[in-house]
């Protein structure tokens, strides 16, 4: 969630730094958030087909790509496209954690584990917005902040890969009907 928060918190200021108006930055953010809404529906469907962990992995990989693209794009049309792409992947990742947790642990443990996971996610969201601002203040560039976000995404991919490789043999990656 650290990487997820960076564009959400800073995209309007990033647009302004690139010479676009705050109104265009707000439009870019609105597009990102609207696509995030769509993403929740699509990722829910996808999670039912391929499982929670695989959905998180796919979403995190695509989020890393979209976040990396923010560091290369400086046109308004490019920002709209990348914001749309980022929105289409970020919105569905967090709900997939609940499904993955339920697929990996018994129902009796679900409430506590999902609560801890979501709390960590909210801390990550707060930390990502803050960290992006600190990096900008130190470097006067959001490109470095987005690059650090990509690094956090890659660490997440490593963690999810370990979970996928070490899951219990009798635990299905997809919920059974």
- pLDDT of res. 170: 55
Q: Which of 54, 53, 153, 38 is nearest to 88 (CA)?
A: 38
Are 95 and 48 in contact by the 8 Å Cβ rule? The answer is no
Question: What is d(CA 6, CA 166) in angstroms, rounded to the nearest whole number?
Answer: 30
φ, ψ for residue 121, nearest 5 deg: -65, -40
Are 70 and 15 in contact by the 8 Å Cβ rule? The answer is no
Mean pLDDT, the chain, rounded, equals: 91
- pLDDT of res. 77: 96
* Residue written as token pair 């308004």: 76
Question: What is d(CA 69, CA 10) in angstroms, rounded to the nearest whole number?
Answer: 15
* Residue written as token pair 């990722």: 43
**pTM score:** 0.87
Are 10 and 146 in contact by the 8 Å Cβ rule? The answer is no
81 exposed, middle or buried (CB, 10 Å; 0-12, 13-18, 19+)? middle
Are 17 and 146 in contact by the 8 Å Cβ rule? The answer is no
Quick one: tokens of 142?
Answer: 């959001």
Percent of the chain clearing pLDDT 70 (strictly above): 94
22 has pLDDT over 60? yes
Cα–Cα–Cα angle for 165, 92, 154, rounded to 5 degrees:
45
Are 52 and 103 in contact by the 8 Å Cβ rule? The answer is yes
Q: What is the per-residue pLDDT across 98-117, written as a single tens digit (0 to 9) for each?
A: 889 988 888 899 889 999 99
Q: What is the per-residue pLDDT across 139-162, written as a single tens digit (0 to 9) for each?
A: 999 999 999 999 999 999 999 999
Residue 170, helix vs strand vs coil? coil
């Amino acid at each position: 969630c650290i990487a997820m928060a960076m564009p959400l918190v800073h995209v309007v200021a990033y647009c302004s730094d690139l010479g676009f108006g705050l109104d265009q930055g707000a439009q870019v953010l609105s597009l990102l958030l609207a696509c995030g809404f769509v993403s929740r529906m699509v990722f829910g469907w996808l999670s039912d087909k391929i499982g929670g962990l695989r959905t998180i992995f796919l979403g995190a990989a695509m989020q890393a790509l979209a976040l990396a693209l923010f560091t290369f794009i400086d046109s308004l049309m490019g920002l709209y496209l990348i914001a749309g792409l980022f929105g289409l992947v970020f919105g569905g990742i967090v709900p997939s954690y609940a499904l993955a947790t339920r697929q990996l642990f018994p129902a009796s443990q679900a409430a506590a584990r999902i609560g801890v996971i979501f709390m960590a996610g909210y801390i990550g969201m707060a930390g990502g917005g803050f960290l992006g601002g600190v990096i900008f203040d130190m470097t006067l560039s959001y490109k470095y902040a987005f690059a650090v976000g990509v690094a956090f995404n890659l660490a997440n991919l490593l963690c999810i890969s370990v979970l996928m490789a070490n899951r219990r043999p009798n635990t299905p990656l997809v919920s059974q009907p």
